[in-house]
Amino acid sequence: MLENRSFDHMLGFSHIQGKTPSGEITTVDGLTGTEQNSSNGGMIKVSYPADFVAEHDPGHEFPDVQEQLCGSGNKYSTPTPPVGAVDPNIRNSGFVSSYVQKYQPPDPTPPMKCFSPEQLPVLVSLAREYAVCDRWFSSMPGPTWPNRFFVHAASSGGLDHSPNLLEEMGVPYSFANGTIFDLLDNAKLDWEAYMGDEFPQVLHMDGMMEKFAEGKFKSYDNFAADLKDTSFSKSYVFIEPDWHPFTKFKGGNSQHPLDDVTRGELLIKNTYEAIRNSPVWERSLLIITYDEHGGFYDHVAPPTTVEPGDEVTSPFNNKYGFNFRQLGVRVPAVVVSPYIAKGTIDHRIYDHSSIPATIEALFNLPSLTQRDRNASRIDDLLTLENPRDDAPETLPSQADSKERFDFLGRLETGLERVLSDLGIKDTQPVDPSLAGFVHIALLRKLSVLPSEERGNEISEARNLRTEADAARYIYRARSNLIGR
């Protein structure tokens, strides 16, 4: 699962043609080039190419997405329309106005900019070679944290916003019915989480620090070698990118808008090629998707859905009183398996709960919530009786973005120099995107601290005031963990 990109932003101009799983000729639901949003009395159309590294991170908190979908000053309908209907207030008309309100930029076009196929040769090649799902929506109209929780728990426990430093510091998020990892453990099915850096977001869930101590987490650097071991027997693997939160995501491979998108292309390429050239290939199903749209334009109005039906697990969670009946903006989703026919285009509605729904079906596990119980399953794409013998062993190289800034190398000169270069200042408040990683850094530190020192550590984390403070805290935690 990668970060903060809409379907149209990544694949809208791919113009992929193929067949539905049942064999009808079809085309991916992308862009015509006429789609537009208004700005200061004029109209801004979708266009390409997009910048490999965005100047700003478009807003994607709950109020931002409400404006992006409904337009400035408008809200979702009350009561919510029936399941599967499109809210008449949603016209996908406020992406530019949301961006302008947040940044007052001289150039209001970035949220309408899209990548050309030549800019994303890895993702586009996989979409053409296997299956692309063009009705995969984020699970709620909001940011990273709650949407990622839906992948693991078919719920966010009522969370409808990014964590902040005034919430339950040192307390992981919990879910009334547990997570897919709990279901796998109960069924005595083995799983693994591969992490790109020291702060995988999945650690922010109840019980995961204990699983970390049990060895359920490994560095992604081990992934390809582990798959070549003929004894590899994990039923489920979840891959977290390298987030690089202490440099505000620059230098990682999550495809965060502030980072070079080609680094994430390389992560996708390496992951596919490791699976394709391993003994597990003929038993594999790889899902590549994105947590939410990151504030970038998409033309498809998301439908309503069923609410999870579980409990709100913390009084801090439901900041906006959201009922979780509205899906979020459409995101890219590509599904890879030797049992998927080349050029498959799937128009069925999915959200992130389709991932636990598929795992539950494959391994005869119970549902977690109403959301995964009603979700479309990805295994329906496995239409071939025998594995393909024409699946490519390698993918094209990622595009050359001309980005040459080595952030890890620059860190040898000291974090302060890097913070200065990146414009991360002591005058800026802690961004919500960083606050969640402060929580994870704190959880990792608490796990190795004596009990008498934990209170002071929690107070230090809670009292961070600026973006630079947050970056320093995460970096110090990283340095301590590497030192150990």
Q: What is the DSSP pairing of strand 191-195 with strand 236-240?
A: parallel
Name the β-bridge partners of 27.
Answer: 17
Q: Rounded to whole angstroms, how far apart are CA atoms 380 and 357?
A: 12
3-state SS assignment for residue 145: helix
How high is the mean pLDDT of the chain?
A: 95
Burial group, residue 73, by CB count within 10 angstroms (0-12, 13-18, 19+): exposed
Read out DSSP for 295-346?
T----SPPPB----------TTS-TT---S-B---B--EEEE-TTS-TTEEE
Per-residue pLDDT tens over the stretch 68-126: 999 999 999 999 999 999 999 999 999 999 999 999 999 999 999 999 999 999 999 99
Per-residue pLDDT tens over the stretch 27-68: 999 999 999 999 888 999 999 999 999 999 999 999 999 999
- Reading the block at residue 356, the tokens are 């636990």
**Taking every pair of C-alpha atoms in the chain, what is the biggest distance, in angstroms?**
65
Q: Rounded to whole angstroms, how far apart are CA atoms 470 and 463?
A: 10
Chain center to CA of 294: 9
How many CA atoms lie within 13 Å of 404's alpha carbon, on the beta-carbon side? 1
- Reading the block at residue 140, the tokens are 């709620």
Instruction: Tell me how long the chain is.
Output: 484
pLDDT at 473: 94
Strand positions, DSSP E, 147-285: 191-195, 217-219, 236-240
Domains with residue ranges and CATH for the chain: 7-381 (3.40.720.10), 407-483 (no CATH)
pLDDT at 167: 87
Q: Rounded to whole angstroms, how far apart are CA atoms 161 and 312?
A: 13
pLDDT at 242: 96
Weakest mean pLDDT among 15-19, 255-259, 268-272, 409-413:
409-413
pLDDT at 228: 96
pLDDT at 424: 86
The pLDDT confidence band at residue 277, using thresholds 50, 70 and 90, is very high
Please give the C-alpha separations between residue 328 and each of 12, 62, 80, 157, 324, in angstroms, as whole numbers. 17, 10, 14, 17, 10
Residue 25 has pLDDT above 90, yes or no: yes
Name the β-bridge partners of 466.
Answer: 429
Per-residue pLDDT tens over the stretch 183-198: 999 999 999 999 999 9
Per-residue pLDDT tens over the stretch 132-158: 999 999 999 999 999 999 999 999 999
Q: Rounded to whole angstroms, how far apart are CA atoms 23 and 384?
A: 12
Chain center to CA of 434: 15
Which secondary structure element, helix H or strand E, spans residue 38, and what is its range?
strand 36-39
Peptide bond just before 79 cis, omega within 30 deg: yes
CA 202, 203, 207, 211: dihedral to nearest 10 degrees? 100
Q: Rounded to whole angstroms, how far apart are CA atoms 319 and 162?
A: 10
What is the 8-class DSSP label of residue 163? -
Read out DSSP for 47-100?
BSPPPSS-SS----SHHHHHHHHH-TT----SSPPPTTPPPTT--S--HHHHHH
Which secondary structure element, helix H or strand E, spans residue 228, and what is its range?
helix 223-228
Residues 6+ apart with CB under 8 A from 459: none
- CA atoms 86, 91, 96, 102: torsion sign: negative
What is the 8-class DSSP label of residue 431? P
What is the 8-class DSSP label of residue 105? -
Q: Rounded to whole angstroms, how far apart are CA atoms 249 and 397?
A: 22
472: number of Cβ within 10 Å: 18
pLDDT at 116: 98
